[in-house]
Structure 1
């Protein structure tokens, strides 16, 4: 099992995919976890997800932990396949819970009632590619799989 999670190709593809996904998700996770980048912080985000989005508190906590620790792990290249599954499941659920009714396109011009799901599909695509490829060059997985 360890080899399947930590095994990776020594290539630039995994490196680019995991850094893209990790660096894009890090500010979102940091907003929710610590209130950085103008975010609400942990307790207010849990409150938002439970009261406004009607999620159970444990799911709300898992969303925050996944976005923060998952993005940090992706940047480091640690268990990228595992985190790609977690992000893929998270973003698939986000589509169905919050964005499907708004259609495909993001709300670039403020003419829709909410955001569409095109961004979420891009994240899911990156997750699938990362899950198939692994962390790539300069990753903690590379160090672990060599041992």
Structure 2
């Protein structure tokens, strides 16, 4: 129970709320592409085939990456197990930078002149995730409500 309390503990900060919602809202479409095929995505089966076939990512890690973006984004929006969700998204972004985006450079490909997207977006996502990981979900979160109930 004590470890669960540490996982959920947060204050009533608006800063964590903003970081949590910004990250969750921005990540949700990426997760929905990979799971549901929304927003021009391949859906779960197509994404798994791409990750395991073309990118040679082991199936377990491919599944965890997809889950981090989809379930993690929903968890952040709701503010439930936010630290776990933030850790998953941060790890996912670190791997994306290490495997793909660092070779392209820092900047996003706004002009279409690069071979892909740089890692500036990923650094922002990692920064937002670290805020939630360190400080918790903040105001208007299920974590806060559960934490307050556990203290009673």
Normalised TM-score (structure 2): 0.93
Q: How much has 1:40 moved relative to structure 2?
A: 0.7
Determine helix, strand or coil for the equivalent of 1:90. helix
Q: How much has 1:58 moved relative to structure 2?
A: 1.1
Q: How much has 1:104 moved relative to structure 2?
A: 0.8
Is 1:123 matched up with 2:125? yes
Q: How much has 1:115 moved relative to structure 2?
A: 1.1
Structure 1: how far apart are the matches of 2:138 and 2:114? Answer: 39
Normalised TM-score (structure 1): 0.97
Give ranges in structure 2 of 5+ residues lacking alignment: none
Tell me the matched-pair count. Answer: 147
**Equivalence map 1:1-147=2 (5 Å):** 1-147=3-149
Q: Deviations over 1:32-51 (max 9, x none)?
A: 11111221100000001111
Q: How much has 1:53 moved relative to structure 2?
A: 1.4
**RMSD over equivalenced CA pairs, Å:** 0.9
